[in-house]
Structure 1
Amino acid sequence: MGKGKNLLMTEVLKHVTFGQPDMRTWIFSSVDNCHYNYNSRYLFEYVKEKVKEVTPYFVINDERLRKELSDRYGEDYFIETNTAAGIKKVLSAGVWFTSAGLPVYGTKLKKDRLIINLWHGVPLKKIALMDPNLNKWSRLYFKKIFSENYSCIVTTSQSLVPVMARSFCVPEKKIKIWGQPRNDRIFAHTDRAAYLEKIYGKLPEYDTSVLYAPTFRDYGPTRLFPFSDYDKAALEEFLEKNKMLLFIRTHIKEKSAANAYLTERVRYLGEEMAEDVTGVLGIFDQLITDYSSIYIDYLLTGKPLIFLPYDKEKYLEGRGMNFNYDEVTPGPKPETMGEFLGEIKAFKDGKDAWEKERKRVNEILNQVTHPCCEEICSHVLNAAREMEKRGHRRDKER
């Protein structure tokens, strides 16, 4: 079902679905209601295991994925909103969480319920209504269907409150510094060898792993290893000598572009292997990126960063940034292959000239530096109880 049809059905059904929404039924959703990822996934999994007074559901409209998840976690947890019955089920719930969009589309949906936007990262780049590429009609749709429906929007630090408020055109009081549920996994131990072996089988001997995660460009393909002196054989020799593995993670649309760079020690780690890599960032010893906000999550590990902003002027001109790029990217920016390998080797050898800068930026962007799922649930449960009481009072007054 398309968003337009879903909106029309929701507008009709919300008027024929009577009764106070159940504040102990929580709905979770993510991108286009077809993905099991981002903050919604991690909070859902926490609620399912830890918050026994709540019944959680996750909206998955992709039938194949819904069956796969039902087989893994139990069929009672995964629902659809492609039918009137599915939409009614969502409308009967008193709490909704999303990382992008909504579980159903409509206007004035937050009446008698809580709709919490967990979002899916720190807005280093301009997002939502601040995106200069958004046209007038898209802005109007976004405000009516999304911004006006959110009870609150979650972020990670005080410095981001005005940014998020402007991005969603909501009062600053609606922005809550509660952290990102997906980052709870960063603070938990993941067995690196077991995780990687499950994906790749036997790997060459290594003691250091590096993740290379460039961002997606709207205007053209991403240049991997953007050095005029790039040498595939030299990189492989360097990695072998230093017992390192390097994992490339591009946008799913650019998967084939990585093939030319793959070797025994340069592997591809795509979405089909790890849909949301944030939860396992802790297994990597270094991160290489350009403009992706993944590095802000990685700051929580305290480990080194390398940046390759080879097209900075063009990228910033097209999308824009909420911060001065150079002031919030605490890591070297090598321009040649030699410099690049030198920085990786220096970090491996413990020669870290950027540690203080990483701490400074982390304090600006990551105010929540501990697991946050429990606290988020506590906030929402308290708000749900208050809303429930108000509903009961209204019923008595009728």
Structure 2
Amino acid sequence: MNFKYKLFAYMFNFFKFFSFSRKDVFFILDKKSSFNGNSKFIKDELCKRGNFRYHCLSKEEFSFRQVKSLSSIIKKIFTLLNFFFIKPYKLSKSKYVFLNDNFFPLAYMNFKKDVIIFQLWHAPGAFKKFGISVVQDKNLKDLIKLSNNNVYLSVSSKNVSEFYQEAFGVSKDKILNFGVPRIDYYFDKKYNNENNKKHIRGNLEKKYPEIKGKKIILYAPTFREHEKKNKDILNNFDFNRFNACLGDEFSLIFKSHPKIKTPSIEGGIDLTNYSDEKELLLISDILITDYSSLMIEFSILLKPIIFYPFDLYHYLKNERGFYFDYNKVPGPIAKNTNELVEIIKNNDFDFDLIKTFVKENYDFLDNNSSKRIVDFVLDSNKHSR
């Protein structure tokens, strides 16, 4: 695996010597579809500031998954040539680099001192553990630290700074309290207004007329490291029972983590492949989740959240664990579908608990996170290494 990282880095280090005009912006993404998150809002803000050239790289291009036929092999060869030659060249011409995940070739890349590398990550707050917090292998820990050696990152609240410092292995001065760009969406009247919500709902109702006139419950579980446990997600949710009890008033939308392969669902609308999860959060009346960081995002809308950790003991023992006591989540915890139904029927929600949670996880409740980050990045003369 290190060979791929080093090859990319060596090509970059070579092209760097021939790159004299470096004004470009480069986005490094975990997957192409994730551009709708923080990266989009950073690009939108940069577009207001000047005429930059933008380039993008997806870590999916590293992978050989789904390469089965001869045509897909040929296509993959061209993708890899582009990845290991064209992309390093374009990156060498870039002055501003944004990531939303770890990118290990950075460990072997020698950037010029005026280049700013900014980690956007993909979630606010700190809920389930990630990065170095869950890695056991010392070599991998060292690789993560080395790849983040020159990286700045922003957090949603000073209360979570120490968790990000641990997870990324960075020094305290690299962590900035500017907020999370994608949160701007919920405070921007261009998006969060009644007409836009009606528009989003209207598009869904055309495809799924059964949701018309009903409140929307979004069930958004996260993935497990063990494949069998991912299959248990659907096995432990009684869609038929849920609809029999609540179907007259509510429609259930299911959106699993992209890493989970889900079969067809009876009794729920599967929107796992919906392109923009922020839209679903905006129009949903209730969120049901287990360990997903979406709940931190949804909390700022001050709408009910129900937690359904049917495998909590396993998750604590064998998976990632959490940065805080799970019993302190901002909503009721259900152990089975019957309890979920009763919580919803009884409207059993503590909104003061949600408000307190929001205060702990957000220092800024505005649509200026992208602006604060871009202000910092463009004022790069003060931050050059």
Q: The TM-score by the shorter chain falls in which range?
A: 0.7 to 0.9
Asked if 1:224 is matched to 2:225, the reply is: no
* Distance in 2 of aligned mates of 1:254 and 1:60: 19
Indicate the residue corresponding to 1:128 in structure 2. Answer: 131
> Which deviates the most, 278-287 or 197-206?
197-206
Contact 1:183 1:279 in 2 (8 A): no
Cα deviation, residue 84, structure 1: 2.9
Cα deviation, residue 52, structure 1: 2.9
Asked if 1:376 is matched to 2:370, the reply is: no
Q: Residues 281 and 26 of structure 1: is their aligned pair in 2 closer, same or farther, counting only changes over 3 Å?
A: same
The RMSD of aligned alpha carbons is 2.9
Indicate the residue corresponding to 1:95 in structure 2. Answer: 96
Indicate the residue corresponding to 2:57 in structure 1. Answer: 59
C-alpha offsets along residues 114-145 of structure 1, whole Å, 9 cap, x if unaligned?
1010111133122111114x41222222222x
Q: Residues 338 and 86 of structure 1: is their aligned pair in 2 closer, same or farther, counting only changes over 3 Å?
A: closer
C-alpha offsets along residues 313-338 of structure 1, whole Å, 9 cap, x if unaligned?
221222222111112x1111122433
C-alpha offsets along residues 78-99 of structure 1, whole Å, 9 cap, x if unaligned?
xx96153432221121111111
Contact 2:200 2:279 in 1 (8 A): no
Cα deviation, residue 18, structure 1: 4.7
SS of residue in 2 equivalent to 1:301? coil
* Distance in 2 of aligned mates of 1:28 and 1:366: 25
Indicate the residue corresponding to 1:206 in structure 2. Answer: 213
TM-score, reference length from structure 2: 0.81
Cα deviation, residue 225, structure 1: 6.4
> Which deviates the most, 120-129 or 356-365?
120-129
Selected match of 1:251 from 232, 250, 257: 257
Cα deviation, residue 359, structure 1: 1.1
Contact 2:10 2:109 in 1 (8 A): no
* Distance in 1 of aligned mates of 2:33 and 2:298: 26
SS of residue in 1 equivalent to 2:209? coil
Gaps of 5+ in 2: 62-80
Cα deviation, residue 147, structure 1: 1.5
Q: Residues 323 and 239 of structure 1: is their aligned pair in 2 closer, same or farther, counting only changes over 3 Å?
A: same
Indicate the residue corresponding to 2:65 in structure 1. Answer: none
Contact 2:6 2:105 in 1 (8 A): no
* Distance in 1 of aligned mates of 2:295 and 2:21: 42
Q: Residues 104 and 56 of structure 1: is their aligned pair in 2 closer, same or farther, counting only changes over 3 Å?
A: farther
* Distance in 2 of aligned mates of 1:60 and 1:254: 19
Residue type of the alignment partner of 1:119: W
C-alpha offsets along residues 254-313 of structure 1, whole Å, 9 cap, x if unaligned?
3334x2x423xx20011x322x41354211111110111110011110111000112112
* Distance in 2 of aligned mates of 1:359 and 1:61: 37
* Distance in 1 of aligned mates of 2:177 and 2:20: 32
* Distance in 2 of aligned mates of 1:248 and 1:160: 29
Contact 1:285 1:303 in 2 (8 A): yes
Indicate the residue corresponding to 2:110 in structure 1. Answer: 108
Selected match of 2:358 from 342, 362, 384: 362
Indicate the residue corresponding to 2:66 in structure 1. Answer: none
Indicate the residue corresponding to 2:9 in structure 1. Answer: 7
Asked if 1:233 is matched to 2:237, the reply is: no
Cα deviation, residue 101, structure 1: 2.9
Contact 1:286 1:304 in 2 (8 A): yes
* Distance in 1 of aligned mates of 2:100 and 2:37: 6
* Distance in 1 of aligned mates of 2:259 and 2:132: 25
Residue type of the alignment partner of 1:322: Y
* Distance in 2 of aligned mates of 1:140 and 1:386: 28
* Distance in 2 of aligned mates of 1:33 and 1:376: 22
Aligned length: 351
SS of residue in 1 equivalent to 2:278? helix
* Distance in 1 of aligned mates of 2:278 and 2:198: 17
* Distance in 2 of aligned mates of 1:317 and 1:235: 29
Contact 2:157 2:363 in 1 (8 A): yes
Indicate the residue corresponding to 2:284 in structure 1. Answer: 284
Identity of aligned residues (%): 23
Q: Residues 376 and 280 of structure 1: is their aligned pair in 2 closer, same or farther, counting only changes over 3 Å?
A: farther
Q: Residues 342 and 177 of structure 1: is their aligned pair in 2 closer, same or farther, counting only changes over 3 Å?
A: same
* Distance in 2 of aligned mates of 1:120 and 1:385: 27
Q: Which aligned pairs between 1:42-53 and structure 2 lie closer than 5 A? A: 42-48=41-47, 50-53=48-51
* Distance in 1 of aligned mates of 2:59 and 2:293: 27
Residue type of the alignment partner of 1:138: L
Asked if 1:176 is matched to 2:176, the reply is: yes
* Distance in 2 of aligned mates of 1:231 and 1:103: 41
* Distance in 1 of aligned mates of 2:202 and 2:247: 18
TM-score, reference length from structure 1: 0.79
* Distance in 1 of aligned mates of 2:165 and 2:302: 28
Q: Which aligned pairs between 1:10-89 and structure 2 lie closer than 5 A? A: 10-14=12-16, 16-19=17-20, 21-22=22-23, 25-31=24-30, 36-48=35-47, 50-60=48-58, 82-89=83-90
Contact 1:59 1:81 in 2 (8 A): no
Cα deviation, residue 247, structure 1: 0.8
* Distance in 2 of aligned mates of 1:206 and 1:254: 30
C-alpha offsets along residues 27-82 of structure 1, whole Å, 9 cap, x if unaligned?
2221067853431233223433x33354433335779xxxxxxxxxxxxxxxx961
Contact 1:210 1:246 in 2 (8 A): yes
Selected match of 1:262 from 259, 266, 269: 266
Residue type of the alignment partner of 1:374: K
* Distance in 2 of aligned mates of 1:99 and 1:253: 16
Cα deviation, residue 360, structure 1: 1.1
* Distance in 1 of aligned mates of 2:165 and 2:10: 28
Indicate the residue corresponding to 2:333 in structure 1. Answer: 333
* Distance in 2 of aligned mates of 1:81 and 1:184: 33
Gaps of 5+ in 1: 64-79, 392-398
Residue type of the alignment partner of 1:364: E
Indicate the residue corresponding to 2:324 in structure 1. Answer: 323
